[in-house]
Each structure stands twice: as C-alpha cells, then as structure tokens.
Structure 1
C-alpha cells in the first residue's frame, strides 16, 4: 500500500463515517426520548434514496401514496382517542398534520413528475414525503404502547421494519436505482480528487450536526426533548408533552434518514433492502456511544467508516464481519462495568 491508496481509503472511510454519524444521531435521539430502538431507520434511508431517485427520473414514488395512507390511519386513531374529549384545536391540528400535509406532498410530487424538476426541488419533495412517515409510524405503532417495556418496543420495531421492507419491494421493485449527484463540482487536493457529492456529504453532515446542537441547546422544543430524555416522569410533571416529544424525535430521525439516503444514492446503487445494512452500521456507532452520547457516536461512526474502508481493501469478503465484530468488545465491556438497574416504570 502506498500513500495515495492510504489517502483514498481514509477519504472513503470518513465519507461513510459521516453518513453513519447522522444515522447514529437519529438512533440516539429516538432511544433517549422514547426508549425505542429504531430498527426502521434503515427503511427511512431506503425510502429517502429511492424517492429521490424516482423523482429525478420523472416517476411518482409510491412513498407519496404511502404517506397519505399512513396519515389517514393516524388521523382515524387520533379521532378515536378524542371520542370523549373533543377539542377544536386538536381536530384542526390533526387534520393539517395527518391529512393536509401528505395530500399536499402527493400533489406536489405529481406536479414535479409532470415536468423537469431541479435537484433542489427533488430533495425538498423527498423530505416532505418521507419525513412525515416517521411521525405517522410513531402515532400508529409506538404511541399506543409508549409505556411498554423496551423489549416490547423492540419487537414492535422489528415488525415495522419487516412491513416497511415489504412495502419498499412493492413500491420500487427488486431492481436497484441510482440518482444524479447533488453537484458536479470536483476539486483536486494533491493526489486526491474530491467529488462534489463527497463535499456535499461533509457539508450537509456538519450543518446537520451544528443544527442539532443549536436545536437542543437553544430552542424550547430541543430543551423539552432533552428533559424527556433525562426523566420522562419529571418532564410530564413540569408540563412537557412527552407525546409531542416522541413525534418530534421520530420526525427528526426520519428526516435524517432521508437526507442520508439522498447523499448515498448518487454514489452507489440502492435496493429496497439496502438501508437495513447501512442502518446497522449507524447502530454500531450509536451502541459505542451508549445510545446517549452524540460526540462519542460521531467519533465511533468515523472509526466504523475507516475500518470498513480498510477491510474492503484487505479482505473484501469479510468486511461486514470485521465491521460488526467491533460491537462485541464494546458490549462485553459495558456488560461487565454497568451496574444492575431496574427499568424505569412510567
């Protein structure tokens, strides 16, 4: 191995690590606020990537119709929960959130498919379509069992993952898709040639990290999420709506997964089930961070990306085995050092 190959491998590892860091942040956020291990995070990657690819090719993505169906189901569940305490404000909010938003996204997607749309429009539409799906899934699958044990929530996540994976096959088929890059700009740094897509990954990852830091540190909703993560019962006692916190957490996680998919799909072919494996690597970073620490999750994600890049070069047949083996010593160390505690009961 010479210096040029070494630099290319490090560049590839950092690029992948930036994606895994974003996914790890989404997993940490959702678990901290709702105690849900978000296995369907991989499906948000797939849906975001394939929705963007479909819009770029002038096709109407099935996720736009899925958002309408899920929104209608969530609306019906919301109306059923309001049967004894109906309020006009809550009805208007539910109508706008569960019916108007997905319907508007479907209309905009149909309009965009009818003519030539720009990359920016396709990215925004992908976020509007896939992002709310996370919120609707929380209302349908997780909110009714929000007080269940972590094991029950994990089982629910597995069920949601399998359902979404089947829907992905139904909407997009078994063949993979790719999309045009966000930008065609490229720069050369010594022997390295950094493409515009790689630069977009770095810039967007940094912007999202800074944005999350500002959100959690300087906004009321962000501080409410942090309070809910520290103590759900205490948060409710001081007037924080933990249900709203869960909705925001799932919306952010789905949006982060969508952005990650959009960044990945120009660089590699994405299939209906590709997101699961990518999401698992973000899960490794989140586990190393203890499902609590964002800086440690980011550092672990970069390590995972670099290990994956070097494993691909030296032992490509075993790269997945090597990457997932990283989690074994971490889990062993945590199991030996963590004291036995009883699960918090709401």
Structure 2
C-alpha cells in the first residue's frame, strides 16, 4: 500500500464514520432520555433515503400513508388514555397533532410527488414524514410501556424493527434506489477529491455533535431530559413532562436517521433492509461511548469507519466480521470494570 491509497482509504473511512457518528448520536440520545435501545434507527435511515429518492423521481412514497395511518392509531390511543376527562381542548389538540399534521404532510406529498419537486422540497418532505413516523412510533409502541424494564423496551424495539422493515419492503420493493446529490461542487487537495456530498456529511455531523453535546451537557432543559432516564417518577414529581421528553428524543432521532439516509443515498444504492446493517455500525459506536458520551461516540464512529475502509481493502470478505468484532473487547472491559452484583435468592 502506498501513501495515496492510504489517504483514499482514510477519506472513505472518515466519510463512513461521520454517518455512523450521526446514528450513534441518535442512539445515545434516545437511550439517555427513554432507556430505549432504538433498533429501528436503521429503518429511519432507509425511510429517509428511499422517501427522498422516490420523491425526486416523481413517485408517491408509501411512508406518507404510513405516517397518516399511525397518526390515526395514536389519536385513538390518546382518546382512550383520556377517556375519563375528554375536554374539547384536549381532543382538538390531539386531533391537530395526530390527524391534522399527517394529513397536511400526506396532501403535500401527493401534490409534489407528481410534479418532480426541487431537492430542497424533497428533503423537507422526507424529514417531515420520517419525523412523524418517529413521533407516532413512540406514542404507539413505547409510551404505554415507558415505566417497564430495559429488557421489555428492547423486545418492543426489536418488534418495531421487524414491522418497519416489512413495511419498507411493501413500500419500496426489493429493488434499490439512488437519489440526486445535494451539491455538485468539488475541489481537490493533493491526490484527494472532496465532493459537495462528502462536505455536507462532515458539516452536518459536526453540527449535530456540537449541538447535542452542548444541549445535554450545559442546558437546564437538556439535563431535565436526561433525568427522565434516571428516575421517571422523580422527574414527573419535579415537573418534567416525561411524555414530551420521549417524543422530543424520538423526533430528533428520526430526523437524524432520515438526514443520514439522505446523505448516503446519492453515494450508494440503498435497499429496504440496508439501514439495519448501517444502524448496527452506529450501535457499535454508541456502545463504545457507553450510551452516554456524545464526543466519545463520535470518535468511536470514526474508528469504526476507518477500520471498515481498511478491512475492505485487505480482507473484503471478512469486512463485516472485523467491524463487529470491535465490540467484543469493549464489552469485556466493561464487564470486568462493572461492580459485582449478588444474585437474589428465593
């Protein structure tokens, strides 16, 4: 290997690592607030990417209809939960959020899908659709069991992943899709060539890392959101709206996942199930970061991307094996460092 090849591999690894960093940040965000290990994060990537590609090609994405259907279910759950005190103000608010918002998004999507919308419109609609799915997913699947253990939440997360992946196959089919690039600008630095797409990946990743780190580390509301994961009852007694906290976390995670997919789909062909593998690599970065540290998660994601790039050059057949092996020494070290816990006796 010469220096030029090494630089190309580093560039490729940093670009992939930036995407994994975004997904790792979303996983840390959701777990820090709701204690949910968000397995469907990969589906947010797929939905964002393929919705954007479908809109750009003038097709109507099925995800808009899914968001509307989930809104109807969420509205029914809200009415059932508030059946003892159905005030008109409460009903109208639930109707506006659960029915009105997805109806407007569905109508806009139907209108623009037949007119080949500009890139900015396709991106905006894709983010709105996936954000709605993320919000309603929390309301339907996780809010009713928010007080349960992490294991129960994990089982629910796996079930949501399987359901969303099946819907992805129905909506987009088994064929892959690619979307238009966000920017055609490019410049060279020595032997390396940086495209507008790769620059967008770097800029958006850095912005999210800094923003989330500052928000959760230095703002009162960010710390209040983190408090919901430590003690939901104590957070409620302190005046923190834990339901709103979960909705914000899932909304941000779905937007981050959709952004990641939109950044990836012009670079490579994505299929309905591609997001799961990409999400797993973001999960590795989140685990290395302990599911709490945003900067450490970002650094770990860059390491994962770099290892993947060099593995594809030296041993492409074992690339995925090498990448997923990175999690083993981390889990071993954490298990050795964890304090011993006595098992309860009957």
The alignment's TM-score, normalised by the length of structure 1, stands at 0.95
Other-structure match for 1:276: 276
Matched, 1:239 2:239: yes
Deviation at 1:213, TM superposition (A): 3.4
**Count of residues in Structure 1 that have an aligned counterpart in Structure 2:** 342
Deviation at 1:30, TM superposition (A): 0.9
Other-structure match for 2:83: 83
Structure 1: stretches of 5+ with no match in the other structure: none
- Does the CA contact (< 8 Å) of 2:55 and 2:116 recur in 1? no
CA distance in 1, matches of 2:217, 2:123: 27
SS in 2 for 1:58: coil
Deviations 1:35-67 (A, max 9, x none): 111000000000000000000101110000000
Other-structure match for 1:34: 34
SS in 2 for 1:278: helix
Other-structure match for 1:264: 264
Query: Which shifted more, 138-147 or 82-91?
Result: 82-91
Query: Which shifted more, 323-332 or 226-235?
Result: 226-235
CA distance in 1, matches of 2:223, 2:331: 30
Pairwise CA RMSD of aligned residues?
1.4
Other-structure match for 2:72: 72
The alignment's TM-score, normalised by the length of structure 2, stands at 0.95
Other-structure match for 1:161: 161
CA distance in 1, matches of 2:334, 2:137: 31
CA distance in 1, matches of 2:96, 2:272: 30
SS in 2 for 1:193: strand
Deviation at 1:96, TM superposition (A): 1.8
Structure 2: stretches of 5+ with no match in the other structure: none
CA distance in 2, matches of 1:219, 1:106: 35
User: Is the alpha carbon distance of 1:289 and 1:341 closer, same or farther for their aligned partners in structure 2, counting shifts above 3 Å?
Assistant: farther
- Does the CA contact (< 8 Å) of 2:57 and 2:116 recur in 1? no
Other-structure match for 2:174: 174
Alignment of 1:26-175 (within 5 A): 26-175=26-175
Deviations 1:256-299 (A, max 9, x none): 10000000000010000000000000000000011111111111
Query: Which shifted more, 255-264 or 102-111?
Result: 102-111
Deviation at 1:236, TM superposition (A): 1.6
Other-structure match for 2:325: 325
Query: Which shifted more, 312-321 or 220-229?
Result: 220-229
Deviations 1:69-107 (A, max 9, x none): 001101100110010022344323311211111111111
Other-structure match for 2:228: 228
